[in-house]
Structure 1
Amino acid sequence: MQLLYNIAAILIGVLIIPVFMVRAVREKGFVERIRQSLGFFPKHALDKVEKKDCIWVHAASVGEIVATSPLIKEFRKEFPKSPILVSVVTTSGYEMANRIIKDADAIIYFPLDLPWLAGHVLRRIRPRVYLPVETELWPNFLKTARELHVPVMMVNGRISDKSVKRYKHLHSILRDMIGTVKKFAMQSPIDADYIKRLGAPPELVTVTGNTKFDQTYTDVSAEEKQQILREMCLTKNEGIFLAGSTHRGEEEPVLRAFAAVRERHPDAKLVIAPRELLRTMEVTHICRKAGFTVATRTGLQKTPQQDVDIVILDTIGELGRVYSIGDVVYVGGSLVPHGGHNILEPAAHGKAIIVGHHMFNFKDTYALFKNRDACITVKSGKELAEAVVRLFDDPAHRRRMEQETLAIVQENKGASRKSAVLLHEMLDKYESAAENLPHVRSTQKIANLQTYFIDLVHSKEVHGVFLHLLLAVLYVFSLIYRQLVNCKLAGYELGIFRRKKLDCFVISLGNVTVGGTGKTPTAQRLARDIRDMGYRVVILNRGYRAKWHGDVGVVSDGKRLHMDAAEAGDEAYMLAKHLPNVPVLIGAERAITGQYAIDHFGAEVAILDDGYQHWQLARDMDILLVDAVNVFGNGYILPRGTLREPISHVRRANVCLLTKVDQAAAGSRDYIRETVRKYNDHALIIESIHQPRCFIPLDEWYENIGSEGIDVREMAGKRVVAVSAIGNPASFEQTLSDLGAVIIESLRYPDHHDYAEREMSDVLEQAEAKGAEAIVITEKDAVKIPPAVVRAKWPIPVYVICVEVTFQSGHAAFHALLEKKLAAARGEEAPTARAEKEG
């Protein structure tokens, strides 16, 4: 059943792309919504919650956000030290959340429930608990929650008749989802009964009430109410009829009711709030066709006018407060078979409320108000008109309804507090029991989004219809990506896009594949060589995953470090840590960072680390790195493969460097040379190997720069656990094996993975259980280890392996070429050439 669900999710995702493209043009904020839903969050969006045991509350849209607002306040009181994350699905919900929820540490869009995507985001955040509001249950997301032992508690739970019928068709998926939830805090006895019918164990179900009774964001003072009336040009009125959350087919009966009121109260006004903002023009046309003058809320803010009959509310998240100005309120979605909308927002203001007879989505709340004559139910447009006219004509009857409404709201407050206490009890019980269970093993975390796709796209044999379908979809996107890359490159080559030129010698260093080819140690070696030739050299890094943001960031001025690894990003930090007298700068625009390096450090040579695709800046030499172990990926472009651009683009390289040739399979080097020569007959081809320089204890590595550690030969024969989060972990493991270390366990994490304290404790447990004598990590991993772990006294030593690049075949020719070009840029003769003449 899960497989069928995933196939359907993929197909729907592909088929809906044209719809997304249209909405991206029409709807403000929709592009950002899709980016985040695909797992691409803005910089620093997750800094306060990622791997910090946060409380994750998920509310789909505006209605759920209203219910969430008082919950967040109570959670903050109950868990003052736990960060709080709120996720939403819709753009209106996102705007509403940012407007009314002030106690959240982060607000994001919820990931699409595609296979691996939802799980990838959950693994990245690793919350303490996940709290879906109402009935936000997603199979793939909850599947990962079970794997990671993240407890789930449904809050403000609500199940409609339609949902009960729909969920029952999910069979085994439904059982898995319900089985994941540790506690069900339901709004009403009806909702509690429904969730039990879907399979929830009765002992896990409790009724806490509706948290919307606790909301305060709609509270409006007398002064604020007058301000709203002035802004909407409604200060002169003989009563206001307000129709909230109307659907297609409801505006006509609302207008007939308003016309009937105007016959007896000529200065009465009407406010209509369509449920969908995209219907604003349609509703405006309907009102004008009925003979009324109309203005929109946003239009009146620009051009105030006092004589309009109807104001259309065309803003997001404001209806809850605007309800305060209504004298009679009709809550939409109820004269048509939509199921109605929640009447608690107008009830919070003590309004006389009218609803249609289709209120099946809010049975319990509706029954509560109906049984106490706090709302009027109508079955037709005629009955609606009669009810509205009666309330306008009979102020005493209206006041009695208003008082009863306020009494109901007051009596039912407290659901949010009950939910917070219930959550505390559930977590205490769950976490106490979890202490006696074995930790999640790191090896189970290997099956993450990134490594799964890399394994999948490299597989020679793919089994299953779903996987074939997935690869076909990825291939289609790779064709699109190829064309975009080709068009962009052609634009630069033909001069359509202008390249910026720096007044120094520029070398780009990069590759055409995703993953580790050894750029960082190669950049270190190249920078040292150029520095030792007597040139002022700088490294310009893009600052991948850096928390610092701005145009120019100075990681090192060549004398001391100005940023730590978190601020600079691990690659830039590693470069700076090992390069005295070589400034390292970060920034997205290398032309800007390069000019800064020239102005402030007198740079004569700039090395663009990972700059082969940075075509905006002109360069004097392109050095292309090719991993001799993982040769050109699998031959496919992203996302079907791991190529950043077509292999034919090796034609741009002046130098082609084959890295890790000592680990290459037989014939790989010849194949790379043949491939390069096929597209490039002028590039100098050279080779290099990565040689381990030393092993440095983790705490010493942190405290010292340039530490020598212990000799690499001392690791021979030792039983070690290899831990890595790099692009090519196999190469790291091969290096350890070549040194004679006995790898008893290899734990691989996604490239650039940030380690949590719990994960490192798990690593230690596994190392102890297997009788390891040492744990070995790379320098890229060392910068990601939490400081508390570094300071801890581990029973098993943790070593950082330091690697240096050694050039092999072609080194002399490369050195001579580099000398010649650099000297020419300075207007001098290369030392080698001068020596030959003098000799």
Structure 2
Amino acid sequence: MQILYDIVVVVLIIILMPYFLVRLIREKGFGERMKQSFGFLPKHALDKVAGKDCIWVHAASVGEIVATSPLIREFRKEFPDTPILISVVTCSGYTMANRIIDDADSIIYFPLDLPFLAANTVKKIRPRIFLPVETELWPNLLKAARRYNVAVMMVNGRISDKSVKRYQYMFSLLSDMIGTVNKFAMQSEIDASYIIQLGADPKLVAVTGNTKFDQTYTNVSTEEKKEIIEEMCLADAEGIVIAGSTHRGEEAYVLNAFAKLRAEFPKIKLIIAPRKIIRKDDIKSICEQSGFKTAFRTELKEKAAYGHDIVILDTIGELGKIYSVGDVIFVGGSLVPHGGHNILEPAAHGKAIIVGKHMFNFKDTYMLFKNRNACITAEDGKMLTSEMLELFRHPEIRHRMETTSLAIIHENQGASRRSAIILRDVLDELGKNHKTLAVPSTEAIENFQTYLFELVHGKRKKTFSGRILIAVLRFFSFIYEQLVNLKLWLYQCNILKQKKIDCYVISIGNITVGGTGKTPTSQRLAKEIRALGYKVAILNRGYRAKWHGDVGVVSDGKKLLMTAAQAGDEAFLLAKNLPDVPVLIGADRAITGRYAIEHFGIEIAILDDGYQHWQLKRNLDILLVDSINIFGNGYVLPRGTLRESLTHLNRADVCLLTKVDQAAPHSCEYIRKTLAQNNNHAMVVESIHNPKGFVEIGDWSDNIGSTGKKITEMAGCKIIAVSAIGNPASLEQTLQSIGTIIVESIRFPDHHDYTAAEITAVMRQAASRGAEAIIITDKDAVKFPRQIIEQKDRIPIYIISIEIKFKKGAEEFDRYLREHLPPLKNK
């Protein structure tokens, strides 16, 4: 479901580009919005919050910002030294936030909910907690929160009837989002029941009330009220009607009611505040066609003018205060089936309020006022007219409604304070027990690789959307497979030329995505060939290396010349474990190979992960086949996990079956049969990942070839397994086989870069689960933060030392190597 969502988002963005271009031309500030939405955040916006454990509050537009305003005030009281970041989606929300919220340290536009944008933004900011306001649940942002262990708390939560139905069609995506949230602070019991219906744990749901009851930015003094009336040139009005947040079609109803009012009360004036300011000219035309003189708010501010009947509010963020000058308020979006708008702003001024019958988006607030006769419901335009006339004919009814509105507001204040207290409790609990953090675990993590693997291997229930996604993936697989076949054919026909280097080249690789054991196999083979007397170098592509260039020397065979970050974890690990073998990185192995020949005099070059590196001619192709995940599911990427089709097995000279001791019965027989169907000449060898021992990470990081605990010493030990590798199940199975008791398994995405906060959280979790040690792989160890390694009195962190051990076919393989390797030069 995640990948389908991502595809839909990308398609929508492409479709809406012309609309965005129009807005870019017409709408002031839209250019900055688009720039930030695509991840280009200004440096000054992040200086005060990035990497400082900030509180990140996300509010989509003006309405959510109104709800956020009192929250930020209370958060500042509760956390005076913690930076606060606010993000918004709309230009009007951005303007409003800057106008009414003084306690925020930074205000930015929210990134588009694309995987790389959301993840990059969260990685830049690294907040302590993310707080979406109302229903702002974004799948990729929440996925990034899980990845970077950012806690999530929904504040002022509101779920409409429509949202409940819509969210239910999101299936696994919904459970991912709901499962990411640590606490739900909901506006009402109705909202609480809805979020529980959608899958939230009732223990994590609290009812705080609506923070909009606490807003004070609209407070208007007598002097300010008088100033507003004078600026709008309405001092001669004997009654003012305000139609707030109107939608297309509602202005006609309002104008008809206004015409009837004017017939009876000639000095009544009307203020129309359209929900979308871009409609202001259309509304002016409608008003003038009805015979009314109009003026825009901005024009009257610049130059006083009199004689108009209607003022059109064409500014952002003023409506809340302008409600104070009205006598009767109609809140729009309710005579048309939009769902209404919040009535709390006019209620805070103690006003008589009329709404239409479509208030389903604000059902709880609406019912609260309706049940106390503080809000009138107009079923249609005719009733709107009659109710307005009634309120002006009988001022006592209007005054009673005004008194009741103020009473309801005062009775329901305090939601912001309650939310701040809950936030304090959540953060305190996170500090004590990391279990509540979104630490990836076997059950919780839903990164892209895991989801895709489960989907294409049939481990997910096939929903309708899942079947569509599979069909889309199969289409792209067909295209990808044909392109791979074409490229290989071009090399085979010598149309694309293979490069050759002046040494013996051995390629080690696979045709599936994921961990088959390439790195430890390269390491084992390099040691064996080095022991035979050859000068060997390993040529690695430098995956995820920060170093860029043609040739990078990670190790010269005597000492390490790069860090793990510079070299990439795989290349660094090879260099650390092979003190006598140079390790080089670079995209073009012909260039790195020639460099190794020229500078280190190598005779054998091993291409780590080189089966698909057709650019370089090789003498021996060794293909690794994972006995646990056999050929993926038989499909090429992205429908499956094959890098190329099974017919391409015919290029292998040696097929090495890995982890055969962990394989299911008859798996090896099936692999051999498949190989025979596609390759009738390759030697088949079986191997296992043999655990050698456990080395404490402090000793491992400081020394080469450190010894530690024997395998038998860890039997019966309660441990937490932590990994960021292609096949974490293999590690966990190995640990179980030697007798450790795994109390928790925490899986991060493959090649994940650990942070100190993440490992600190893991150590807290280990303490809470009674674990005696944390076990990781050497691939994980190269990415561990130094400050964690050097920390005193921490829980032991052991690296399991694994070696490749050849089993069936070992003697034949040894003989094969000796026969095929070139003669030693010193013989």
* Fold shared, TM-score > 0.5 on shorter chain: yes
- The CA distance in 1 between the partners of 2:260 and 2:786, in whole Å, is 72
Q: Helix, strand or coil for the counterpart of 1:517?
A: coil
User: Equivalent residue for 2:336?
Assistant: 336
CA distance 1:729–1:124, change in 2 (3 Å): closer
Q: 1:759 aligns with which of 762, 767, 774?
A: 762
The one-letter code sitting in structure 2 at the alignment partner of 1:759 is: V
Matches within 5 A, 1:347-358: none
Q: Helix, strand or coil for the counterpart of 2:632?
A: coil
How far is the alpha carbon of 1:186 from its aligned partner? Answer: 0.4
How far is the alpha carbon of 1:666 from its aligned partner? Answer: 6.9
- The CA distance in 1 between the partners of 2:487 and 2:289, in whole Å, is 55
User: Equivalent residue for 1:210?
Assistant: 212
CA contact (8 A) 1:356 1:378 kept: yes
How far is the alpha carbon of 1:744 from its aligned partner? Answer: 3.9
Q: Helix, strand or coil for the counterpart of 2:474?
A: helix
- The CA distance in 2 between the partners of 1:408 and 1:551, in whole Å, is 70
- The CA distance in 2 between the partners of 1:664 and 1:127, in whole Å, is 37
Q: Which runs of 5+ in 1 are unaligned?
A: 1-9, 32-40, 188-208, 297-309, 390-399, 820-830
User: Which deviations, in whole Å up to 9, do the C-alpha atoms of 1:420-465 show, x marking residues without a partner?
Assistant: 5432675599789x87x999999985465479869967999x8xx9
The one-letter code sitting in structure 2 at the alignment partner of 1:27 is: L
User: Equivalent residue for 2:630?
Assistant: 631
Which stretch shows the higher mean deviation, 352-361 or 803-812?
352-361
Q: 1:750 aligns with which of 747, 750, 772?
A: 747
The one-letter code sitting in structure 1 at the alignment partner of 2:716 is: R
Matches within 5 A, 1:322-401: 331-342=331-342
Q: 1:810 aligns with which of 787, 810, 813?
A: 813
Q: 1:183 aligns with which of 196, 206, 220?
A: 206
CA contact (8 A) 1:213 1:344 kept: no
User: Equivalent residue for 1:479?
Assistant: 474
CA contact (8 A) 2:519 2:570 kept: yes
CA contact (8 A) 2:657 2:684 kept: yes
User: Equivalent residue for 2:823?
Assistant: 832
Q: CA RMSD in A?
A: 7.5
CA contact (8 A) 1:721 1:747 kept: no
CA contact (8 A) 1:538 1:597 kept: no
User: Equivalent residue for 2:543?
Assistant: 542
- The CA distance in 1 between the partners of 2:365 and 2:174, in whole Å, is 29
Q: Helix, strand or coil for the counterpart of 1:749?
A: strand
CA distance 1:796–1:681, change in 2 (3 Å): same
The one-letter code sitting in structure 2 at the alignment partner of 1:335 is: L
- The CA distance in 1 between the partners of 2:551 and 2:77, in whole Å, is 39
Q: Which runs of 5+ in 2 are unaligned?
A: 21-37, 108-124, 297-309, 390-398
User: Equivalent residue for 2:63?
Assistant: 63
CA distance 1:283–1:446, change in 2 (3 Å): same
User: Equivalent residue for 2:14?
Assistant: 25
CA distance 1:657–1:560, change in 2 (3 Å): same
Q: 1:719 aligns with which of 701, 716, 734?
A: 716
CA distance 1:673–1:832, change in 2 (3 Å): farther
User: Equivalent residue for 1:135?
Assistant: 158
User: Which deviations, in whole Å up to 9, do the C-alpha atoms of 1:173-221 show, x marking residues without a partner?
Assistant: 549747334531102xxxxxxxxxxxxxxxxxxxxx5267246999xxx
- The CA distance in 2 between the partners of 1:481 and 1:551, in whole Å, is 32
TM-score, reference length from structure 1: 0.59
User: Equivalent residue for 1:515?
Assistant: 514
- The CA distance in 2 between the partners of 1:273 and 1:596, in whole Å, is 66
User: Which deviations, in whole Å up to 9, do the C-alpha atoms of 1:72-92 show, x marking residues without a partner?
Assistant: 45425523677879899x889
Matches within 5 A, 1:720-739: 720-721=717-718, 723-725=721-723, 726-729=725-728, 731-732=730-731
CA contact (8 A) 2:186 2:209 kept: yes
CA contact (8 A) 2:728 2:747 kept: no
How far is the alpha carbon of 1:627 from its aligned partner? Answer: 1.5
User: Equivalent residue for 1:320?
Assistant: 317
How far is the alpha carbon of 1:749 from its aligned partner? Answer: 3.1
How far is the alpha carbon of 1:359 from its aligned partner? Answer: 5.5
How far is the alpha carbon of 1:131 from its aligned partner? Answer: 2.6
CA distance 1:382–1:634, change in 2 (3 Å): closer
How far is the alpha carbon of 1:340 from its aligned partner? Answer: 2.3
User: Which deviations, in whole Å up to 9, do the C-alpha atoms of 1:766-789 show, x marking residues without a partner?
Assistant: 566xxx7x7643213435666666
How far is the alpha carbon of 1:518 from its aligned partner? Answer: 1.0
CA distance 1:493–1:775, change in 2 (3 Å): closer
User: Equivalent residue for 2:303?
Assistant: none
- The CA distance in 2 between the partners of 1:732 and 1:692, in whole Å, is 10
- The CA distance in 2 between the partners of 1:98 and 1:123, in whole Å, is 27
Q: Helix, strand or coil for the counterpart of 1:320?
A: coil
How far is the alpha carbon of 1:61 from its aligned partner? Answer: 6.4
Q: Helix, strand or coil for the counterpart of 1:516?
A: coil
How far is the alpha carbon of 1:612 from its aligned partner? Answer: 5.7
Matches within 5 A, 1:240-259: 245-253=245-253
CA contact (8 A) 1:445 1:749 kept: yes
TM-score, reference length from structure 2: 0.59
CA contact (8 A) 2:512 2:632 kept: yes
CA distance 1:352–1:635, change in 2 (3 Å): same
The one-letter code sitting in structure 2 at the alignment partner of 1:742 is: G
CA contact (8 A) 1:378 1:384 kept: yes
User: Which deviations, in whole Å up to 9, do the C-alpha atoms of 1:481-536 show, x marking residues without a partner?
Assistant: 4224324425645779x999998869875433343211232344567789995577
User: Equivalent residue for 1:778?
Assistant: 777
CA contact (8 A) 2:251 2:283 kept: yes
CA distance 1:217–1:83, change in 2 (3 Å): farther
Q: Helix, strand or coil for the counterpart of 1:541?
A: coil
How far is the alpha carbon of 1:585 from its aligned partner? Answer: 5.4
User: Which deviations, in whole Å up to 9, do the C-alpha atoms of 1:240-290 show, x marking residues without a partner?
Assistant: 99976443422544687999999999xx99875449x9x999999999999
- The CA distance in 1 between the partners of 2:547 and 2:97, in whole Å, is 23
User: Equivalent residue for 1:154?
Assistant: 185
CA contact (8 A) 1:156 1:186 kept: yes
The one-letter code sitting in structure 2 at the alignment partner of 1:541 is: G
CA contact (8 A) 2:156 2:209 kept: no
CA distance 1:714–1:646, change in 2 (3 Å): closer
User: Equivalent residue for 2:112?
Assistant: none
The one-letter code sitting in structure 1 at the alignment partner of 2:484 is: L
Which stretch shows the higher mean deviation, 479-488 or 138-147?
138-147
- The CA distance in 1 between the partners of 2:94 and 2:648, in whole Å, is 44
How far is the alpha carbon of 1:145 from its aligned partner? Answer: 10
The one-letter code sitting in structure 2 at the alignment partner of 1:706 is: I
CA contact (8 A) 1:154 1:183 kept: yes
User: Equivalent residue for 1:197?
Assistant: none
CA contact (8 A) 2:245 2:331 kept: yes
Q: Helix, strand or coil for the counterpart of 1:186?
A: coil
Matches within 5 A, 1:103-142: 105=127, 124=147, 130-136=153-159
User: Equivalent residue for 1:708?
Assistant: 706
CA contact (8 A) 2:61 2:94 kept: no
CA contact (8 A) 1:52 1:127 kept: no
- The CA distance in 1 between the partners of 2:407 and 2:498, in whole Å, is 72
